[in-house]
Amino acid sequence: MTCPLRIGIDGRGIYKSIDGIGRYSLNLIRNLAAIDSVNQYIIFKNTEIERKIVDTPNFHEVNVDFRHLSLRTVFTIPLLTKNFHLDVFHSPFFVSPLWGTKNLIVTVHDLMAITFPGFFGGRSYVKEKVAYLYHRVFVPLSIKRAKRIIAVSQSTKKSLIERFHIDPEKISVIYEAVDDHFKRDYAKTEIEGFKKAQRLPEKFFLYVGNMKPYKNIPLIISALEILKRENMLKHKFVIAGRKDRFFPFIYKEVKDKHLLNDVIFLDYVSDNELPLLIKCADIFVFPSLGEGFGLPPLEAISLGVPTIVSNATSLPEVVGDGAIIVDPHNPEKLAQAIAYLLKDKDLRKKLTQKGIDRSKAFSWRKTAENTIEVYKAIVKE
């Protein structure tokens, strides 16, 4: 009989306003707690989260008063972990301690921060350069120090191999999934009630996410301009996401194309409201230039909303045949895809079913099960 492992997980990416890393961390920890009552887990969380992430006897939570993306992560975390005698330390993001932690596992979601020009734009010159240098220095060091890497897609694995010449055997591909509340049935009255309460338009296309340049929102705006010019724009376009530092650029793009009456900017949408918002949309549009996984379109197809994504990086891998795939550099093609979807009722129905079927291939329980196997394997090695 093998002894229980002592596993440390850096849960400081979980904040009240949850983002991609936080969502991954939260779902991983919750599902590990649901399936593993043997191994001992020490979760390092930020002090903003006052309640327990999970209330399970073999999970112990330790408060940390500094952010996950900081110099103290690189140098100070080992001082906090040394007294816990960990067998494994798992960092769910790609900046990790550079010393002291035993059997380091790093999850890499994507490499956009060091490969995409302008990722840190929209701020002062000094802040942009400092952010870029921080990632340019510590991401490669963390990745190369890790004993095992978890990539969230085959596309991300390929990028790691090409960029850092990592041994493929060192990388385990473990997919993300949609939260359980995206899987429940929403009554038509509930959807209509939400639409009315939020003052949403009767018909609209939807994008959900941040406004960073690689998300390629200007392509959607250009496609809308084409549809409007050809008198085919009968829907509004809703952008749901925090009005971050790139918002002024997107707003100017909309204004310059005379589309202010056709585009609605929502701010941050809570996790509880997000499924209802997506369910209200006629089409979900996500033409990103690069993704490590691509959770928003998977959420959309799981809800049966006809979806259009780009052919870039991991997106075709995630949606399979459950969405329409377009060139992210061609607004005419996107405009044609939108018009085609609106015109063809049978296609929308077929896409709805294919999307729901495709989404069933992903589950957070499976993510947790595969991650435990990585923990065991790294200790055995």
Rounded to an integer, what distance in angstroms lies between the CA atom of residue 90 and that of residue 107? 8
Render the burial of 67-86: b for 16+ CB within 10 Å, e for the rest. ebbeeebbeebeebbeebeb
Rounded to an integer, what distance in angstroms lies between the CA atom of residue 30 and that of residue 82? 24
Residue from 147, 29, 30 nearest 87 by CA: 147
Burial of 322 (0-12, 13-18, 19+ CB in 10 A): buried
φ/ψ of 262, rounded to 5, equals -110, -10
Rounded to an integer, what distance in angstroms lies between the CA atom of residue 348 and that of residue 352? 6
H-type helices in 96-183, by residue range? 112-115, 125-145, 154-164
pLDDT on residue 1: 52
Token pair listed for 233: 């724009």
Token pair listed for 93: 């993001």
Q: Can you say whether the dihedral through the CA atoms of 205, 267, 53, 138 is positive or negative?
A: positive
Alpha-carbon dihedral angle through residues 89, 290, 365, 298, given to the nearest 10 degrees: 160
Q: Which residues pair with 148 in a beta bridge?
A: 105
Rounded to an integer, what distance in angstroms lies between the CA atom of residue 228 and that of residue 232? 6
Averaged pLDDT in 10-residue chunks for the chain of 381 residues? 87 78 92 96 88 93 81 79 91 85 92 82 76 84 94 96 95 94 84 90 94 95 96 93 89 96 89 91 96 95 96 96 97 96 93 95 97 95 81
pLDDT on residue 237: 96
pLDDT on residue 272: 83
The Cβ of residue 115 has, within 10 Å, a number of other Cβ atoms equal to 12
Token pair listed for 38: 């043997």
H-type helices in 146-207, by residue range? 154-164, 188-197
CA atoms in the 13 A half-sphere facing the CB of 243: 8
φ/ψ of 185, rounded to 5, equals -80, 135
Reported as a single tens digit per residue, the pLDDT across 105-120 is: 999 999 988 888 777 7
Helices 345-359 & 295-302 angle (0-180, nearest 10): 110
Domains observed in the chain: 6-177+363-380 (3.40.50.2000), 180-359 (3.40.50.2000)
